[in-house]
Structure 1
Amino acid sequence: MWKIIKTESFPIYQQIITLIEDYIEAGQLLPGDKLPAERELAAMLTVNRSTLVKALDELSARGILTRKQGSGTWISEDKWGVFTGQKTNWRHYVSQGSFLQTTPYMDKMKQLLNESSEKVIDLASGELPLNMMPKISTPALSWQTFLAEEDSEDMAGYRPLKETIRTMIDRDRDVQINLNQIFITSGAQQALFLITQCLLTSGDAIAIESPSYFYALSIFQSAGLRIYALPMDENGVKLDELEQLYRKHRIKMVFVNPTFQNPTSLTMGTKRREALVKLCAKIQVPIVEDDPYSMLAFTEQPMPPPLKKLDPDNVLYIGSLSKVMGSTTRIGWLLGPAAVVTRLAEARQEMDFGLSIFPQVLANHVLNDSDFNQHITWLREALQIKRDLLITCLPEELEYSIPNGGFHLWCYLPPNQTWTSRSFDVFLEHKLLVMPAFLFGVKESALRLTFARLNETDLLEIKQVLKEIFNTDELS
């Protein structure tokens, strides 16, 4: 990269200036990028250090570079796009969007998967592997049959699927709902997106559990919402903290995942649920209840009632098939007041003209297949086995509570070691993918281990890697 073709037409220091300007124009150097040390860069360019310093001083004087004695030289973040010439500076545009870009840690994980996926052990992905998805045959439907089914669809979704979901929710969660209160979505995230875009206004304050996978989503920032962390204890969100947030910031909506919460796998107790809906009704703040894991309980003990059952009018309930049928299913549902369902359905139609009939018809077929309940039973048992196998690999330095359902194990790291965001790179160096706590909005020495994709052949290696990591003194 650092090479100039020396010519007598211009002084060498000016050629260095031109080289750096060209790299900025081409996007090879970005705002905040650090240049090599002066001695090292002079050697790469085969020039005298004094010549290089003259070029860097001029670029610094023009505000293109930022130089700090003893620290180094960076491309100035205040001069983005100065040297774009006749070219559109797309780097500027992609850095300005309201949707968050992925974190450096997530980028490193993706790169590792792309480069050596066969050598990577994945304890990070919250997706089912192919061999755990339902083995249910799809119906032999003609194109004309699919088109005919459109007569059974309205803005809020495919009517037979809504009827199936109503029956399932009544049977499994004891929640009675009318068809006009059911909205079929393209997964849970579409429901969340429409809520933020249609029911809230830029600048509104919302409360989200801390930690929570919601912090990894960009939909809240893209809507211009102010996010406030809602701390939890072993029973769920702390209600005194919620009331303080409301009084101080005028919270407009509360987002919770009360059953096998992601990432902690905690389940909010019944008394805490009752107190939560009572408080939110009192302060007139609606609740969004995200419930993707309730089908995956490992015990026969009765589950706490959904918040939707405790307060049907003030709770928007979101369900999904992605955790039992795979993320490519892209079918979810929102249960809410009829007026809310109509508002969201109209907004979606304005955006993308509705939801495709094909996944809805297929999802309805699967949910009514006699093998589906057998699949859920098998899936619960298989996940419980994977959970227990993962626990056998964990060193005694880790602290955790054994989850009674879902995909995840939340582990607190040894307090005698110093953990920063950079410290977690040690897992990547060992080709072990995990989700550090900072990805879930908390600055804790903790991580999420997901056992859904655990392969039994990796158990010994996982055990050895974790032992090596937590016995090292080189974390910083």
Structure 2
Amino acid sequence: MWQLSENSSLPIYLQIVDLIETKIMNGELLPEEKLPPERQLAELFGVNRSTVVRALDELTARAVIIRKQGSGTTVNAEKWGLFAGQSTNWRHYLTQGGFTPAVPYIRQAGVMERVDTERVIDAATGELPLEMTPKMETPSLSWQSFIAEEQLEDEAGYRPLRETIQKQMKAAYGLNSRPEQIFITSGAQQALFLITQCLLKPGDAVAIESPSYFYSLSLFQSAGLRIFALPMDADGVIISELRDLYHKHRVKMVFVNPTFQNPTGLVMSLERRKELVKICAHLQIPIVEDDPFSELAALDKDIPVPLKQLDADNVLYIGSLSKIMGSTTRIGWLIGPTAVIERLALARQEMDFGLSIFPQVLANSVLNTSGYSAHLKQLHQVLEKRRDDLIEAFETILPNELEFIRPKGGFHLWVKLPIEFRSIRDFDIFLAHDLLVMPGFLFGVKEAVIRVTYARLKKREAVQVAKILQQIIMEKKCDEA
């Protein structure tokens, strides 16, 4: 915090000098980090701007900071190391690391979601609210019982859970797999992380359908991969575009989310699925199929079978319980060739010594209860109702203003707005109206589109979302006029 001590006998400008030097020494201000503008510092300290200028002049004379006209004031990287006792230049490591920090929009949205829960409408979080998680009791097991279950676990996970997943995938889709082809992970993102780190190398080209939530994950950049957008139409990824990408860039892997695609909600047609697995098999390009809504999709007989069922050898299939049982479940699975599963399992073992037995035992217990099927059906009904309520609110309050396709399932509505956004910062208008949505730039597109998540919206909140969008559209149109 930029707050001066109330007990100091030093002149105020020296108190400011002391505070900034202390922040640098403690690592709160890193080398090359920019300080707030003079006017803002004066407001924070509650002093005249001339006092701040005098303090900054003193720090400049000591070579603690560097002031450049038009560029602002930054911590001197060279002096910082001496000043802080030869401390490491963490700014260098932070900027060179593979994982990029969250964009300001996401950081601010996260703060608002945590701090202003009562005031903010959350149509961004792609997770189940508490009231929609399973209302089932977990088994009463002693600590020793859990420890004993570790005897049934190896590097690929808890075997009874793998057998349960095998049976469920067989019953739902006729997918034939063996327990040794199933790898339990701590969610879908761990599976993606292991794939990018262990099966690909820096510089490899990958094709990702566009738009896609994959673009919001830094794990692809951290692996040094070259990412190429794979355009879609109403039936899914465009095969001719994939063929062109392969010949131009030697694509090594394709990442798709064919069922209730995030963010569009689209379902790839069966014909397009067959074309995709055929061309990828011909070109020898593995497919990573992310299918977080598989359990819900299985309730709808009109939804095509997974790509994995069409080509068991060339598809790595990722499933998850987070969209069904809540994000804290942290249970996912990867189905693939035995050799791939063994490689990834050993890599995970070296990284974190395996997965905790507790969530695996609990998940297996819940999946085998009679109440699980009832939960799926109820969840399916609630999601359909919330989807319909949001669409009704849009059609009533904003008739003919918004463009969207009615999703067959999932959590999201992909909405094109009748306005223009010239920069990423324009999307801050949603935050200013206490509405959390996911803007299109997070999914790799530049148009004025947003992902509205209806899973957490009751009917009253759906109406509020429509009214806020109406107000934003009116304001933007007035600005453009």
Code of the aligned partner of 1:33: K
**1:57-86 Cα deviation digits (max 9, x unpaired):** 9899x9933323xxx534389869556531
Cα gap change, 1:16 to 1:133, in 2 (>3 Å): closer
8 Å CA contact retained: 1:64, 1:79: no
- For 1:275 and 1:16, the matched residues in 2 are separated by 66
Cα RMSD of the aligned pairs, angstroms, is 3.2
User: 1:46 maps to what in 2?
Assistant: 50
User: 1:376 maps to what in 2?
Assistant: 376
Code of the aligned partner of 1:65: R
- For 2:148 and 2:15, the matched residues in 1 are separated by 69
Which one is further off, 77-86 or 193-202?
A: 77-86
Q: Secondary structure at the match of 2:214?
A: helix
Q: Is residue 33 of structure 1 aligned with residue 34 of structure 2? A: yes
Code of the aligned partner of 1:235: D
Q: Displacement of 1:130 after TM fit?
A: 0.9
Cα gap change, 1:347 to 1:392, in 2 (>3 Å): same
1:349-364 matched pairs, under 5 angstroms: 349-364=349-364
**1:261-295 Cα deviation digits (max 9, x unpaired):** 01111111111111111111111110100000132
8 Å CA contact retained: 1:99, 1:222: yes
Cα gap change, 1:198 to 1:80, in 2 (>3 Å): farther
Q: Displacement of 1:113 after TM fit?
A: 2.1
**1:21-73 Cα deviation digits (max 9, x unpaired):** 77655656564636536899798342698x7998899899x9933323xxx53
Code of the aligned partner of 2:66: I
User: 2:67 maps to what in 1?
Assistant: 65
- For 1:371 and 1:425, the matched residues in 2 are separated by 43
Q: Displacement of 1:333 after TM fit?
A: 0.9
Which one is further off, 99-108 or 214-223?
A: 214-223
User: 1:452 maps to what in 2?
Assistant: 455
User: 2:113 maps to what in 1?
Assistant: 113
- For 1:346 and 1:39, the matched residues in 2 are separated by 52
Q: Displacement of 1:258 after TM fit?
A: 0.6
Among 403, 406, 413, which residue is 2:407 paired with?
A: 403
Q: Displacement of 1:257 after TM fit?
A: 0.5
Q: Secondary structure at the match of 1:259?
A: coil
Q: Displacement of 1:317 after TM fit?
A: 0.4
User: 1:318 maps to what in 2?
Assistant: 318
8 Å CA contact retained: 1:109, 1:428: yes
User: 2:287 maps to what in 1?
Assistant: 287
Q: Displacement of 1:101 after TM fit?
A: 0.9
- For 1:330 and 1:84, the matched residues in 2 are separated by 44
Q: Secondary structure at the match of 1:399?
A: coil
Q: Secondary structure at the match of 2:347?
A: helix
- For 2:56 and 2:150, the matched residues in 1 are separated by 70
- For 2:334 and 2:41, the matched residues in 1 are separated by 59
Which one is further off, 98-107 or 452-461?
A: 452-461
- For 1:420 and 1:344, the matched residues in 2 are separated by 40
Among 402, 427, 431, which residue is 1:428 paired with?
A: 431
8 Å CA contact retained: 1:256, 1:289: yes
**1:431-458 Cα deviation digits (max 9, x unpaired):** 1110001111221210000011113342
Which one is further off, 233-242 or 21-30?
A: 21-30
1:145-156 matched pairs, under 5 angstroms: 145-156=145-156
**1:191-247 Cα deviation digits (max 9, x unpaired):** 111111211112211111111111111222222222222121111112222222222
Code of the aligned partner of 1:461: Q
- For 2:81 and 2:170, the matched residues in 1 are separated by 61
Which one is further off, 298-307 or 260-269?
A: 298-307
1:19-418 matched pairs, under 5 angstroms: 31=32, 33=34, 36=37, 44-46=48-50, 64-68=66-70, 73-75=72-74, 81=80, 84-86=83-85, 87-297=87-297, 300-394=300-394, 395-396=398-399, 397-415=401-419, 417-418=420-421
Cα gap change, 1:45 to 1:144, in 2 (>3 Å): same
Cα gap change, 1:39 to 1:338, in 2 (>3 Å): closer
Code of the aligned partner of 1:441: G
8 Å CA contact retained: 2:439, 2:450: yes
- TM norm structure 2: 0.87
Q: Displacement of 1:19 after TM fit?
A: 8.1
Cα gap change, 1:181 to 1:297, in 2 (>3 Å): closer
- TM norm structure 1: 0.88
- For 1:80 and 1:109, the matched residues in 2 are separated by 36
Which one is further off, 187-196 or 33-42?
A: 33-42
Q: Secondary structure at the match of 1:371?
A: helix
Cα gap change, 1:124 to 1:7, in 2 (>3 Å): closer
**1:102-140 Cα deviation digits (max 9, x unpaired):** 110011112212331111110000110111011111112
- For 1:382 and 1:419, the matched residues in 2 are separated by 37
- For 1:451 and 1:48, the matched residues in 2 are separated by 48
Cα gap change, 1:65 to 1:298, in 2 (>3 Å): farther
Which one is further off, 276-285 or 451-460?
A: 451-460
For structure 1, list consecutive stretches of 5 or more residues without a partner in the other structure. Answer: none
- For 1:16 and 1:179, the matched residues in 2 are separated by 64
Cα gap change, 1:85 to 1:56, in 2 (>3 Å): closer
8 Å CA contact retained: 2:65, 2:76: no
Q: Displacement of 1:167 after TM fit?
A: 0.9
Which one is further off, 389-398 or 357-366?
A: 389-398
- For 1:142 and 1:2, the matched residues in 2 are separated by 51
Q: Displacement of 1:420 after TM fit?
A: 2.6
Cα gap change, 1:241 to 1:54, in 2 (>3 Å): same
Code of the aligned partner of 1:465: I
Identity of aligned residues (%): 53
**1:350-384 Cα deviation digits (max 9, x unpaired):** 22222222211111111111111111011000000
Q: How many residues align?
A: 466
- For 1:440 and 1:48, the matched residues in 2 are separated by 42
Cα gap change, 1:84 to 1:171, in 2 (>3 Å): farther
For structure 2, list consecutive stretches of 5 or more residues without a partner in the other structure. Answer: none
- For 1:182 and 1:233, the matched residues in 2 are separated by 32
